[in-house]
């Protein structure tokens, strides 16, 4: 199988760098093909702007959505964007490897999502009708592919627990897992998370690699997070609210998981 690792850490000699290196070797040893988008090493342009379209008419206002759509349709996207989209088409699975900075992705990885996820590629696809609100949340260009987050966090596991001060890790990652992975159609596996990274030693690193190796062994048969598909009957359209008989009385992120 083909695996794309999108990796965002400025220092190769870091825990994240080591985990990325481990994953590449482990997957290759198992016979998979691996490509790595090492965003810092690539000097990835993090900011979405008018330069992302090579034929932008002078003087016209820049629209993040519409200019992305035109450039995608007309083949006038910046070359770095088109290259990453090609890797996504090639991949059977994608792993996003990053340190949790301020409870989300590093800016450089957020900018990868913003720029690579063009209108017409990752959103704004499919028909909008009375029972179908675009190919998204379970449908879309990434349908049939799998995705997993591999995340490191400085805080303790309890700080990210159900009643931990930072908020539960599943909720913190929901905007990424549901909003950027399930949205264009990926099946999203439970995240791989290493906590308390300021106190790593050889034993804990070996343990982390052991756990990550298991997750990679099971990349193809781990049950994905059971996010509810948008167009399969659970949601009113076009309000896109859960129907009254679905998770009755519940609200919040967890209500969107079957």
To its own copies, the closest distance from the beta carbon of 136 in angstroms equals 9
> Under DSSP, is residue 252 helix (H, G, I), strand (E, B) or coil?
coil
Q: Per CB under 8 A, which region of 23-31, 81-89, 144-152, 161-169 contacts its own copies?
A: 161-169
Query: Under rule CB under 8 A, which residues in 217-236 are in contact with its own copies?
Result: 230, 235
Judged by CB under 8 A, which of 132, 159, 196, 204 binds its own copies? 159
Q: Between 31 and 165, name the residue whose CB sits nearer to its own copies.
A: 165
Cα–Cα distance between 248 and 251 in angstroms, integer?
A: 9
Say whether 239 sits in a helix, a strand or coil. Answer: coil
b/e for 77-86, b at 16 or more Cβ within 10 A?
A: beebbbebbe
CA distance 3 to 37: 11
Alpha-carbon distance of 186 to 224, in angstroms, equals 9
Q: Nearest approach, Cβ of 39 to its own copies (angstroms)?
A: 8
Segment interacting with its own copies, rule: CB under 8 A, options 81-89, 144-152, 162-170, 205-213: 162-170
Give yes or no for residue 254 binding its own copies (CB under 8 A): yes
At its nearest, how many Å lie between its own copies and the CB of residue 65? Answer: 7
Residue 64: phi and psi, rounded to 5, are -50, -40
Residue of the chain from 32, 38, 171, 204 that contacts its own copies (CB under 8 A): 171
Q: Which residues pair with 5 in a beta bridge?
A: 36, 95
Closest CA to 38 of 59, 63, 60, 19: 19
Write out the binding residues for its own copies, residues 13-32 only, by CB under 8 A.
13-14
Identity of the residue, 27 or 235, whose beta carbon is nearer to its own copies in the bound complex: 235
CA–CA separation, 108 and 68 (whole Å) = 19
Out of 108, 153, 169, 188, the only residue in the binding site for its own copies (CB under 8 A) is 108
C-alpha span between 175 and 252 (Å, rounded): 12
Contact positions vs its own copies (CB under 8 A): 10-11, 13-14, 40, 44, 46-50, 61-65, 99, 101-108, 110-111, 113-114, 117, 137, 154-156, 158-159, 161-168, 171-172, 174-175, 178-180, 198, 230, 235, 238-242, 247, 250-256
């Amino acid at each position: 199988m083909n695996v794309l690792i999108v990796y965002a850490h400025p220092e190769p000699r870091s825990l994240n760098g080591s985990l990325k290196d481990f994953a590449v070797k482990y997957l290759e040893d198992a016979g998979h093909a691996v490509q790595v988008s090492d965003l810092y090493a690539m000097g990835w342009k993090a900011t979405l702007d008018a330069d992302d379209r090579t034929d932008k008419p002078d003087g016209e206002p820049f629209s993040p959505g519409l200019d992305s759509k035109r450039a995608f349709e007309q083949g006038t996207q910046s070359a770095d964007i088109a290259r990453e989209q090609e890797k996504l088409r090639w991949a059977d699975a994608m792993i996003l490897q990053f340190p949790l900075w301020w409870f989300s992705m590093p800016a450089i990885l957020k900018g990868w999502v913003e720029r690579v996820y063009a209108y017409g590629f990752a959103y704004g696809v499919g028909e909008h009708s009375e029972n179908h609100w675009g190919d998204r949340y379970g449908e879309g260009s990434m349908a049939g592919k799998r995705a997993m987050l591999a995340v490191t966090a400085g805080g303790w596991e309890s700080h990210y627990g159900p009643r931990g001060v930072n908020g539960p890790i599943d909720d913190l990652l929901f905007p990424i897992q549901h909003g950027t992975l399930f949205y264009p159609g990926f099946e999203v596996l439970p995240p791989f998370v290493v906590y308390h990274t300021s106190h790593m030693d050889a034993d804990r690193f070996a343990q982390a690699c052991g756990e990550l190796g298991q997750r990679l062994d099971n990349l193809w048969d781990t049950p994905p997070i059971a996010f509810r598909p948008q167009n399969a009957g659970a949601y009113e359209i076009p309000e896109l609210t859960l129907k009254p008989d679905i998770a009755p009385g519940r609200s919040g992120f967890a209500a969107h998981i079957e």
